[in-house]
Structure 1
Amino acid sequence: MDMLDKMVSWEDGTLAPSAVIEMMQELIDSGEIEHQSDTYQFMARALVDAALCRPRLVH
């Protein structure tokens, strides 16, 4: 499943919780989360705060 399919599934509520975490981590790691809507950014922040995702490492 590509990223767009994952995002659509998440918005539909059909993406498995483990896949949501994986998708958000991919968006965080790539920096794409910064270009997403507030809903995505809030979810990513909540997952980082819950230690389910890692914050992006910027070198």
Structure 2
Amino acid sequence: MEGVTALPYFLIKYDDNSVLVSLLKNWNDFFQDQKQKVTIGVYDPSNFTQYPGWPLRNLLVLTAHR
């Protein structure tokens, strides 16, 4: 991910020894090994803590269908 300044959506998986970060488009390959903990991250530009922005809402819909 060299040269990328901001990722609106990203994947993180980790265990006791390592942390891996990947692009959202790599979902299928990235989650083949379900033994590790998984986190899905999003940069939400909303200024309101009580109201998520559309990027987060769209990500929640996507993950609900996965």
Q: How does the TM-score come out when normalised to structure 2?
A: 0.29
Q: Structure 1 or 2: larger helix share?
A: 1
In our comparison, the structure showing a higher alpha carbon Rg is 2
Q: How does the TM-score come out when normalised to structure 1?
A: 0.31
